[in-house]
């Protein structure tokens, strides 16, 4: 297998990792929290408190 | 994982961004247009036509930025122009504007991913690798196209602060690369740049006459297309009334400087026949200087500008889709916020396959034209929107973070320039223009007769404004 082929497989592999990570996290999140909470955001409501998130 | 945050059993997007992030979002989406794409305006009308298109489009977008700054400093909600349309014009307009935004940004994201794949393939070809049969070998572009979309979607999924800080840094590097190239070609002398030689005679100036100038406007938009995307950050900036106008207007100034420098560099180094068809004109300009550090710098600048644009597009398209879901203009499922990362995670994931399909299976010029047309429809809306906004809520009736000058002149200028640009697009892509119109008409019928019954009509109007004049 050439270096170029390795790079191409690497790119496919990383794409799959990022895609599956998002998919698994989305399913986990949807199962862990109620739909009412997940869709509770309302336009115009200001959340200034960061709770140390960042 | 970021800290999970709940307040009164409600989730919302995080307000963690500043004016620098807004600048990075707006300029980041657009700057790739300076690295490539704008030069097709040279092919349509020649060097001078491209310069006129650069400045006329600059005027159009200055109007867009000013108008947007006033309205969005008042309607500070995710969804940007979609939220503006909802409050000022009405639900059907809002639905259409939401679709314009999602398609303009998703198509632009697809075009950027395609370009990154092309850059990787081109760079691999420059390594001079040969196969067993002695023929030149290059990397296959599709894995890198898909990787770009997946990585940036993942970054956006994980949080807006990280993704837009990343955007701000790589955008700044790409902008500095243009300035360094400009200084390196010594614009104060004529030892490197050969404007007089390259632009001599009719062919060097306006080979297709004034019709070429009109035709050049189509790709002249590419210098600035997407700066209005700053408004999508409205619900995530700490001080929208200050940060959004500041970030948008400084972004517009940055782009006017970058666009003019870009034209000046390329027009002094390449004949118009080549420049009008070049895939990566700024990288080619660096190669013509013969300086290895400059070649590498502009290669990195091209890659960073492309990545920043795709990243900003994912951010903006997902916010517009999320806002429409939250208002039930689309299934409410899309209006979900991630409890830990505070991002519209379902909207981000849903738009990934759409971007991959367009990037891998649709020709680039078609993708770009769909993006430009959707953007153009959005700009036409803005001119009408701000006039209605000023009529319904005159100055002094509600608090505004920014008041744009000389109303209604910029709105009228914007409307006229949009009309001219529709004609320019029609000259080259009439069938796509009509197909796009048919699509939006069918979507509008679906919304009016089917979807609107699911919308909570009272809940969608959230601004604490007085009753508009005339109602």
Q: Give me the pLDDT at residue B303, please.
A: 95
Distance CA B114, CA B105 (A): 14
Query: Rounded to an integer, what is the distance from CA B234 to the centroid of its chain?
Result: 16
Q: Give CA–CA dist B87/B463, Å, rounded.
A: 8
* B154 shares contact with chain A (CB less than 8 Å): yes
pLDDT for residue A27: 97
Torsion of CA B404, B405, B408, B409, to 10 degrees: -120
Residue B347 near residue B338, CB atoms below 8 Å: no
Interatomic CA distance for residues B405 and B417, integer angstroms = 18
Residue of B nearest to A3 (CA): B139
Partner residue opposite B124 with nearest CB, options A4, A29, A47: A4
- The span from the CA of B271 to the CA of B204, in Å, is 8
Low-confidence ranges of chain B (pLDDT < 70): 1-8, 202
Tens digits of per-residue pLDDT, B301-312? 999 999 999 999
Chain B interface includes A20 (CB < 8 A): no
Backbone angles phi, psi at B136, to 5 degrees: -65, 140
Q: Is the Cβ pair A42, B333 closer than 8 Å?
A: no
Between residues B165 and A47, which one has the greater pLDDT?
Answer: B165
| A40 → chain B, closest CA residue | B10
Cβ B171 vs Cβ B308: under 8 Å: yes
Amino acid A45: pLDDT = 60
Shortest distance between the Cα of B119 and any Cα of chain A, in A, equals: 14
Q: Say what the pLDDT of residue B175 is.
A: 97
Residue B199: the pLDDT is: 86
- Specify which residues B17 forms β-bridges with: B237
Q: Is B7 on the interface with A (CB under 8 A)?
A: yes
Q: Which residue of A has its CA nearest to B148?
A: A15
Contact list, B345 vs chain A (CB under 8 Å): 22, 25-26, 29
Residue B373: strand pairing partners: none
How far A32 CA lies from chain B's nearest CA (Å)?
10
Question: Chain B residues with CB inside 8 Å of A20's CB?
Answer: none
| B264 burial level (CB within 10 Å; 0-12, 13-18, 19+) | middle
Check B151 against A53: CB less than 8 A apart. Answer: no
**Cα distance between residue B260 and residue B277, in whole Å:** 19
User: Shortest Cα distance from A33 to chain B (angstroms)?
Assistant: 8
Cis bond before residue B301 (omega within 30° of 0): no
Interface subset of B 224-283, CB within 8 angstroms of A: 235, 238
């Amino acid at each position: 297998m050439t270096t170029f082929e390795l790079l191409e497989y690497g790119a496919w592999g990383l794409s799959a990792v990022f895609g599956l990570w998002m998919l698994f996290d989305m399913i986990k999140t949807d199962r862990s929290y109620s739909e009412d909470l997940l869709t509770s955001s309302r336009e115009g409501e200001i959340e200034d408190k960061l709770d140390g998130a960042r | 994982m970021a800290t999970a945050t709940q307040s009164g059993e409600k989730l919302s997007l995080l307000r963690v961004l500043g004016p620098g992030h807004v600048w990075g979002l707006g300029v980041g989406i657009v700057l790739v247009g300076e690295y490539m794409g704008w030069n097709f305006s040279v092919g349509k009308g020649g060097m001078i036509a491209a310069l006129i298109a650069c400045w006329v489009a600059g005027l159009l977008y200055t109007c867009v930025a000013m108008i947007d700054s006033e309205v969005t400093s008042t309607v500070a909600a995710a969804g940007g122009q979609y939220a503006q349309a909802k409050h000022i014009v009405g639900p059907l307009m809002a639905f259409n504007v939401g679709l314009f935004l999602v398609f303009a940004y998703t198509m632009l994201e697809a075009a950027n991913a395609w370009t990154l794949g092309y850059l990787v393939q081109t760079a691999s070809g420059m390594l001079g690798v040969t196969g067993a049969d002695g023929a030149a070998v290059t990397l296959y572009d599709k894995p890198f196209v898909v990787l770009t979309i997946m990585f940036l979607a993942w970054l956006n999924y994980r949080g807006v602060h990280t993704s837009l800080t990343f955007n701000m840094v790589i955008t700044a590097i790409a902008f500095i690369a243009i300035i360094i190239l400009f200084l390196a070609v010594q614009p104060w002398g004529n030892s490197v740049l050969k404007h007089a030689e390259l632009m001599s005679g009719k062919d060097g100036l306006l080979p297709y006459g004034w019709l070429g100038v009109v035709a050049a406007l189509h790709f002249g938009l590419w210098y600035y297309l997407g700066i209005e995307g700053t408004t999508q950050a409205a619900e995530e900036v700490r001080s929208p009334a200050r940060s959004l106008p500041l970030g948008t207007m400084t972004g517009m100034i940055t782009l006017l400087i970058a666009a003019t420098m870009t034209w000046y560099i390329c027009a002094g180094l390449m004949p118009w026949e080549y420049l009008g068809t070049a895939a990566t004109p700024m990288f080619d300009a660096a190669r013509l200087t013969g300086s290895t550090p400059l070649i590498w710098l502009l290669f990195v600048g091209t890659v960073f500008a492309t990545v920043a644009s795709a990243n900003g597009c994912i951010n903006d398209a997902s916010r517009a889709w999320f806002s429409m879901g939250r208002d039930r203009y689309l299934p409410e499922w899309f209006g979900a916020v991630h409890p830990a990362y505070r991002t519209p995670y379902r909207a981000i994931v849903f738009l990934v396959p759409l971007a991959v399909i367009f990037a891998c299976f649709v020709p680039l010029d078609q993708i770009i034209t769909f993006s430009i047309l959707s953007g153009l429809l959005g700009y036409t809306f803005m001119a009408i929107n701000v006039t209605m906004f000023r009529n319904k809520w005159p100055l002094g009736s509600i608090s505004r973070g920014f008041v744009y000058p000389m109303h209604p002149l910029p709105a009228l200028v914007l409307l006229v320039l949009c009309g001219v640009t529709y004609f320019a697009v029609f000259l080259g892509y009439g069938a796509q223009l009509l197909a796009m119109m048919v699509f939006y008409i069918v979507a509008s019928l679906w919304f009016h007769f089917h979807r609107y019954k699911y919308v909570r009509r009272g809940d969608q109007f959230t601004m604490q404004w007085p009753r508009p004049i005339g109602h």
